Amino acid sequence: MTTDASAVPEARAYTDTERYETERWAIFARQWMAIGTVDQLGTPGAYLSAWVAGYPLVVVNDGGILRAFQNVCRHRSGPLVAEGSGTCGRFVCRYHGWAYALDGRLSSARDFGAEIEPADFALLPARVAAWRGLLFVALEPTEPDLEVWLASVTEHSSSFPMESFEVTHRSSHDMAANWKVYAENYQEGYHIPLVHPGLNRQIDAADYAVVIDGSATVHTAPTRDGSATVGAWLWRFPGFALNLYPSGMCIESYWPTGPTSTRVEYTFCFSPDTPAEEAEMAVASSVDILNEDRVICEAVQRNLASGLARPGVLSPRHESGVALVQRLIADAIREHRR
């Protein structure tokens, strides 16, 4: 663990457009990103489309086979489907009507004849995989298979009956801060006494622990009333987190939407016997904590953009997870430039 200030990024890494494009390509195009849940694609032809870190992607149930594509028509880059979910028998481009089978083959190019060879204009694929009911996509085939990528999360979640939980709430949250501000904030409990007074009454933040396991972290904190901590708070670089409890879970996925903006997607799931009121309270509490983080992250972002921020220093006791995020980002960018 280092306290070397030279290892801490300069402020412009959090504001610069070129840096954002580098991170988008070096990190978010390569890593697996959680995009939804398998139940959203339960019927043949069901699709889910999202912009993930600025990349338009669509995942579809093609007769029981999950497929993912760039949501970009091969004619002149029109969108195949609107953002969101739906069902279709084939993809019909919303610009000039080229049609594609759900396996990506071009099936008709309106008013074109022999000018084009359909095989040259198939949709460009992305990777898709499912893990315990969660759907993940990856644009480029450079990362290991999902089960390898998720090995640490798999190990630490094995005792939780995730498959028995049902989705009850989904919500999207936008914040005016670079994604790294949020990712770093996620990795430390040092801020809890000042930023999260409610959470601070429940857990003893002085002993908030972040254990690093490869590119993942496991977070724990003792409760103030001495009751057993029965949850697991798991995170996997760059933008996946899973908060597990015996009767439910919160799936979190976040990615940049611009150099100074970040989207956080929450999916809450509970066991069917959870009283609705209890579920509502758990959701509200998570959203309150996120809003507290959003306020401080946006304030930090304004300071980073002010021209006055200098690289700081990380606490060996509290901020080893922040150092991990910074190292993984630096490694990914270095790899990208090779």
75 binds ligand FES (CB under 6 A): yes
Instruction: Please give the Cα distance from 108 to 278 (Å, whole number).
Output: 51
184 binds, among ligand FES, Fe ion, none (CB under 5 to 8 A by kind): none
| 56 touching ligand FES, by CB under 6 A | no
87-146 residues near Fe ion, rule: CB under 5 A: none
Element (DSSP H or E) covering residue 7: none
Rounded Cα distance between 297 and 175, Å, is: 8
Question: Binds 41, which of ligand FES, Fe ion, none (CB < 5 to 8 A, cut-off by type)?
Answer: none
Residues 232 and 149: beta-carbon distance below 8 Å = no
Q: Which is nearer to Fe ion, 184 or 293 (CB)?
A: 293
Pattern 279-298, binding to Fe ion, x per CB under 5 A?
A: --------------x-----
Q: CA-CA distance, 5 to 53, in Å (whole number)?
A: 29
Q: Which is nearer to ligand FES, 81 or 249 (CB)?
A: 81
Q: How far is the CB of 112 from ligand FES (least distance, A)?
A: 10
Is the separation of the CB atoms in 190 and 318 below 8 Å? yes
Q: Which two tokens stand for residue 84?
A: 């969101």
Q: Whole-number minimum distance, CB 71 to Fe ion, in Å?
A: 33
Judged by beta carbon, residue 106 or residue 264, the one nearer Fe ion is 264
Dihedral of the CA atoms 302, 307, 313, 318 (nearest 10)?
A: 0
- Rounded to whole angstroms, the Cα distance separating 127 from 140 reads 7
CB atoms within 10 A of CB 177: 26
At closest approach, how far in Å is the CB of 305 from Fe ion? Answer: 21
Strand order in the sheet with 33-37: 33-37, 134-138, 125-131, 65-70, 55-62, 46-52, 84-87
For residue 76, the partner it binds in Fe ion, ligand FES, none, with Cβ less than 5 to 8 A by kind, is: ligand FES
Q: Judged by CB under 5 A, does residue 319 bind Fe ion?
A: no
Residues 79-138 within binding reach of ligand FES (CB under 6 A)? 93, 95-98
Q: In whole angstroms, how close is the CB of 65 to Fe ion at the nearest point?
A: 40
Tokens of 56: 């338009």
Chain contacts with Fe ion (rule: CB under 5 A): 293
- Binding residues for ligand FES, per CB under 6 A? 73, 75-78, 93, 95-98
